[in-house]
Amino acid sequence: MRSKIDFRLYLVTDRKQLTGNRSLTIAVRQALKGGVKAVQLREKDLGTRGLLKLAHKMRELTHGFNARLFINDRFDVALAVGADGVHLTQNSIPAEAVRSVVRKKIMIGVSTHSLKEAKNAEKGGADFITLGPVYRTASKLKYGVPVGLDTLNKVSGQIKIPVFAIGGIKDRRIAEAQKAGAFGVAMISEIFGASNISGKVKELIGACL
């Protein structure tokens, strides 16, 4: 398993945000063609069987493009399909518990919303974190007010693992997020809402450099 975090753009899936008649498989394939190298399968409404079936499809697809696959929350599914990692939430099994089971077999990402959570994730063995919502976004309203660039800067300066900014990240905001210390950015709607997903991804990757 490649241990280095070698991607700056992290695609998080949400098939409910797809436009037109696109299927999730088609949309992810287009993103991979555009250059996405890390995909988090995050379809929380699916049961275990449905998620496992979709995860197998995503594993085959990402393998074909030499891209990483992360499974949201379910490290058992991640192990079952041979994913590169699991992405934990604050309601998931703690990172240290997962790390004790998976050892170095897979990578661990953790969703965080504060410096305390970020430090706990790092201490627990996370390879990277997402921090947000940095900006106001409808999909993250349940997490409260945006953490803002100041918190992003503070967190990025106090932990050693890569920090990916998430929440309301648009192409025009990538530069300021990285200036505030973000290693990279995680996106959903900016990619899935694009009329030309492959083209949009190429633009975003260029902005992340």
Which residues, listed in sequence order, are joined to residue 110 by a DSSP beta bridge? 88, 129
The distance of Cα 208 from the centroid of its chain, to the nearest Å, equals 15
Catalytic hit among 29, 42, 59, 68: 42
The distance of Cα 58 from the centroid of its chain, to the nearest Å, equals 14
Catalytic hit among 59, 140, 154, 200: 140
Residue 16 is among the residues annotated as catalytic for this protein? no
Catalytic hit among 111, 154, 156, 189: 111
Residue 23 is among the residues annotated as catalytic for this protein? no
Written in H, E and C, the secondary structure of the chain is CCCCCCCCEEEECCHHHCCCCCCHHHHHHHHHHHCCCEEEECCCCCCHHHHHHHHHHHHHHHHHCCCEEEEECCHHHHHHHCCCEEEECCCCCCHHHHHHHHCCCCEEEEEECCHHHHHHHHHCCCCEEEECCCCCCHHHHHHCCCCHHHHHHHHHHHCCCCEEECCCCCHHHHHHHHHCCCCEEEECHHHHCCCCHHHHHHHHHHHHC
Residue 140 is among the residues annotated as catalytic for this protein? yes
Do strands 184-187 and 68-72 pair parallel, antiparallel, or not at all (unpaired)? unpaired
Query: Which residues are identified as catalytic?
Result: 42, 111, 140
